[in-house]
Structure 1
């Protein structure tokens, strides 16, 4: 593009270019970030001069002796000024400026040449936080009880009095012990809890849950219940883990116990 195209910004902003030159400059403006930026900086000035064009400036030379001619000239200019078109042009210029800002490296290659790119900060990596799993019931469904992918040593137990059956997986952790539990032949409705009994005769309730009327792993509902919990007690300090049923008065009775730890 010729140097003259870059020098037409002011003339175009003031509307003194003929239609052919104006169209040529608009084609140039669509790809020239520098001219678009310069045109944007002229918005306040053009706003102040929006009522005057090249013909009006020429007409002012004749108004020293004829004030009425000045009034007629200004009225004609105000009727004919092209505010709508100028707003569209400035919007286009602003868009080109924004695009140029987003692609600064490419613009620097065209206009700046020697400027070095500013290094950009990369994503900050944070270390994963390891915490014990939240105790409480988890989902039940097909495939529950498959020991593939379940961490810990497996322990099976069936209570001869209640008929409740359980499989538990116990895994030693830095924070204590992780417990995964599967229950079947568990009738409902009832409220249950999982209790860890330590070798020093102290106990800890690590999870509670409600059993619906159909129970889990029963003729009514064949799906077993799977839940997970954790305790601060090391595995070596645990004597047994027991599933208990709690009545409306808060009295607990054992349903099934894993003691071969």
Structure 2
């Protein structure tokens, strides 16, 4: 195979021939097994084009008129490919070593009954400082997330029902979170808002099981939440009532807002 033919094989594989020369070479290729075999060896070179820059592409175009430059370019590209693959092998080996070392430490600690070393993760938001507000052990949020708002603790002297309310003024009205204890059952109850103008509104209702809440039979207190459209300044007090079969309410505990 002549030197010119060799140059055409490389130029054709790299796509730098003009349309006329490409047609000429394809006609020649149809009858020349040597050029066909040479073209097959040039196929891997095409895959390297994605790894070279504009200057390298310009150098490849110059191989059409300079066969010596072609040889140098091909040698450089093959060398680049070998180096890139060698770097990839080194990186893979390093990753295996590092991962293997970490895995070894983890399995070693686990086999010794220890715990795995901490793995770095995204920073977490700082926790809010604990509230210094005093409260009872049965208050909502005790031992967990503290409730916001004005806290009112009341124990009715007649019924013995114990209530803790948290009142928060909102744009929509007033938010109420409350717990009830010393509340025997079974019975039906409701929470009533009594406004300054003496009007009332039922904002919650519930059933009390036979064991009650906050009793000897069931020490767990009842925790509920409700809301009213009434502004806190317009509320005189909240009242927990027992409701009989006719819907008549009897006060169990009254919680003032002032």
TM-score, with length taken from structure 2: 0.47
Greater RCO, CA 8 A, separation 6+: 1
TM-score, with length taken from structure 1: 0.47
